[in-house]
Amino acid sequence: MINIIFRFDDFSALSNTELENQIISTFKETNSTLTIGVVPFVCDGTKEKTDTQGSIPLSENKLNILKMGIKKGYIDVALHGNTHQTINESPRSEFIGLNHEQQLKKIESGKLFLEKKLDNKINTFIPPWNRYDITTLTVLEELQFSTISAGTKCVSKSDTKLNFIPNTCLIQDLESAIREAEQTNCNHPIIVVLMHETDFKEINSLQGIIDIPQFNKLINSLKSKQNIELLSISQAIEKNPRLNVVRYQYYRKIRNLTNLLPSLITCNERKSKLLTYKQQLLSVWFKVSLFLLIKISLIPLIITFCLSNLFFNKYPDIIILSILINFIFIVGLLFHIIIKNKIYQKLVYFTFVIIGVFWGGVFHAILK
């Protein structure tokens, strides 16, 4: 069963209510639930600028839309920052760099506002621009959030009890994400589709990806498929309690590993659009290793083998010593890559060069 979550961000006092009602109606009519990232006090200026701005609380009309959806079960509300105004020019973020007290004040005020106005507990946090820091995670735990939904390259800490459900694709990538999910060996793969109002042609006629009639058709089509289940973030947590930091870290490793592969041989796993688990990591690691052994290790292996033929009789001890040194290097580098999750392209390529040198010496020693 493929689980698909639609996450619609930037619902605020200034967002387009007409479009939002049309999107929400689609989920209501299909008996599905949409996760909405709600900005409680949206800034009244340009959110990408760091100048002093006022804020506008969510209007009663907007609150009533959310209340009705929560009551009927077709809306799942998540806190999407406080004002959604960046405090940094680059990278844009509402929270990165703020101390503990500052972050606590912003997140707590937004959470309390929504919980009071909606009479509903808020368990999920979506940081604006999908960016946050370790302090943010600490604050979320203190405020008893259960889940964070951000991006694919965000920080984590191994001792956190938070669930991690990052967005894995945009709406234009959904078709390929479903194909990947159908071919994966992972049980219950999860696709998290991130949407903004500017993805819709009704708001942005030039760069919009889809219009409302097309979106209605898409949701109805997905709903009719027996191998697909539409869920909200909250529903996904209830169905799968293992959406924790461990699974998120595996997902990040898969993304990092597949970036080492050329697009011609990555099949469906390049920049994976699924939130999967350990089984896929092992599969991807095998493919990456096989490719790098052929592409990178083979030439150093041949060169080392040939040089060993020239120098072995004169310096046999040096050849054996170099084999031992290379083996130690390989163990250390692989530990750094696999265990420490430091997957840097140059480091990985250097590791496989050393592996080629190592096996060139080993083959020569065996054949001798």
Per residue in 194-211, pLDDT tens? 999 999 999 999 999 999
Coil, strand or helix: which one is 42? strand
How is residue 109 written in tokens? Answer: 């005020």
Q: Hey, what amino acid is at 311?
A: F
Please give the sequence-ordered ranges of beta strands (E in DSSP) within the chain, or none if there are none: 2-11, 34-38, 41-43, 55-57, 75-79, 124-125, 147-148, 163-164, 169-170, 190-195, 228-231
Tally of residues, the chain: 368
The answer, yes or no, to whether residue 177 has pLDDT greater than 70, is yes
User: Quick check: 38 and 11 in contact, CB under 8 A?
Assistant: yes
Percent with pLDDT over 70 in the chain: 81
Please give the sequence-ordered ranges of beta strands (E in DSSP) within 166-325, or none if there are none: 169-170, 190-195, 228-231
User: Quick check: 164 and 248 in contact, CB under 8 A?
Assistant: yes
Instruction: Check residues 183 and 216 and name the one with the higher pLDDT.
Output: 216
Running DSSP on this structure, what letter comes out for residue 43?
Answer: E
User: Quick check: 145 and 123 in contact, CB under 8 A?
Assistant: yes
Q: pLDDT category, 269, cuts 50, 70, 90?
A: very low
* Nearest to 202, CA basis, from 17, 10, 14: 17
How is residue 231 written in tokens? Answer: 């869920």
Instruction: Check residues 255 and 312 and name the one with the higher pLDDT.
Output: 255
Q: Sort 19 into a burial class: Cβ within 10 Å, 0-12 / 13-18 / 19+.
A: middle
Instruction: Check residues 242 and 62 and name the one with the higher pLDDT.
Output: 62
Compute CA distances 271 → 30, 99, 246, 253, 254, whole Å.
Answer: 31, 33, 19, 10, 8
pLDDT attached to residue 79: 98
pLDDT attached to residue 108: 98
- Ranges of each domain in the chain: 2-243, 278-367
pLDDT digits (tens, 9 = 90+) for 124-166: 999 999 999 999 999 999 999 999 999 877 888 888 999 999 9
Q: pLDDT category, 266, cuts 50, 70, 90?
A: very low
**Would you tell me how many other CB atoms lie within 10 Å of the CB of residue 55?**
17
Coil, strand or helix: which one is 3? strand
Architecture of domain 2-243: Alpha-Beta Barrel (3.20)
Q: Degrees (nearest 5) of the Cα angle 126, 130, 135?
A: 75
pLDDT attached to residue 260: 65
Coil, strand or helix: which one is 351? helix
Most confident option among 61-70, 157-166, 173-182 = 61-70
b (16+ CB within 10 A) / e for 56-79 = bebeeebbebbbebbeeebbbbbb
Number of H helices, E strands in the chain: 12, 11
Please enumerate in sequence order all residues whose Cβ is within 8 A of that of 46, keeping only pairs 6 or more positions apart, or say none.
53
Mean pLDDT for the chain overall: 86
How is residue 223 written in tokens? Answer: 């709903």
Compute CA distances 116 → 56, 156, 232, 246, 302, whole Å.
Answer: 17, 30, 22, 33, 70
